[in-house]
Chain A
Amino acid sequence: AQKVTQAQTEISVVEKEDVTLDCVYETRDTTYYLFWYKQPPSGELVFLIRRNSFDEQNEISGRYSWNFQKSTSSFNFTITASQVVDSAVYFCALSEAEYGNKLVFGAGTILRVKS
């Protein structure tokens, strides 16, 4: 069974602070894919990143960075110098190819960035 845990229900930071959103996953597959999505108040899901299980390289995209650690089954997301526009719900998700590519989502973390 697949499971994604986002233990942080809500995080509040002040603008320009760095913030890390945690994601821990469980899967029996050796091939799997991890995702992060942003859901602003309007509701749509904005794709941020996909990482496959064979690629443990960390990734940086502007103020966003991701740390994938297979040894701890974690795929954490860091926002550097947070901005008010970063306020949203962030979801970590897991997909196992053999199950038809459905996504299993974590509970989500509400990020509030205050000016």
Chain B
Amino acid sequence: GAVVSQHPSRVICKSGTSVKIECRSLDFQATTMFWYRQFPKKSLMLMATSNEGSKATYEQGVEKDKFLINHASLTLSTLTVTSAHPEDSSFYICSASPHGQGNYGYTFGSGTRLTVV
């Protein structure tokens, strides 16, 4: 149980285009999901907290207009990188924990490797 599916796993896009990444909880409901970014050989940094039915909470320094987050249902959160540039190239990974279970178990998606050319 507690599976998080992330799609796509890899994407290459041209500079100036937008890319949408999906994060789905397959067998549980998630009122909250988290989006992290990881640069090569670096740690994971929280970008934003995605809240079902309300606006996402962004970490300091993260451009909300650049990284649009939508959490329209209890099983789906999407991250859209708008007007992507080469510096947006990174590994993006989402996580969620089963509804109502707080810290008991964080499951991560398999990640999306974004390359902007």
CB distance from B72 to the nearest CB of A (A): 19
- Residues from chain B with a CB closer than 8 A to the CB of A47 are 105-108
- Residues from chain B with a CB closer than 8 A to the CB of A50 are 103-106
Determine if A95 is an interface residue (Cβ-Cβ < 8 Å).
Answer: yes
Residue pair B32, A45 in contact (C-beta under 8 Å): no
Residues of A within 8 A of B (CB): 33, 35, 37, 42-45, 47, 50, 52, 91, 95, 97, 100-108, 110
Which candidate, B11-19, B41-49, B79-87, is the interface stretch facing chain A?
B41-49
| Interchain CB contact (< 8 A) of A35 among B43, B46, B106 | B106
A-B CB pair tally, cutoff 8 Å: 60
- Residues from chain A with a CB closer than 8 A to the CB of B107 are 47
Q: Give the docked Cα–Cα distance between A110 and B110 (Å).
A: 19
Q: A43-B113, A47-B106, A97-B102 are in contact. Are A103 and B46 (CB under 8 A)?
A: yes
Which residues 18-69 in B have Cβ within 8 Å of A in the complex?
Answer: 32, 34, 41-46, 49, 57
Which residues 69-117 in B have Cβ within 8 Å of A in the complex?
Answer: 91, 93, 95, 97, 102-111, 113
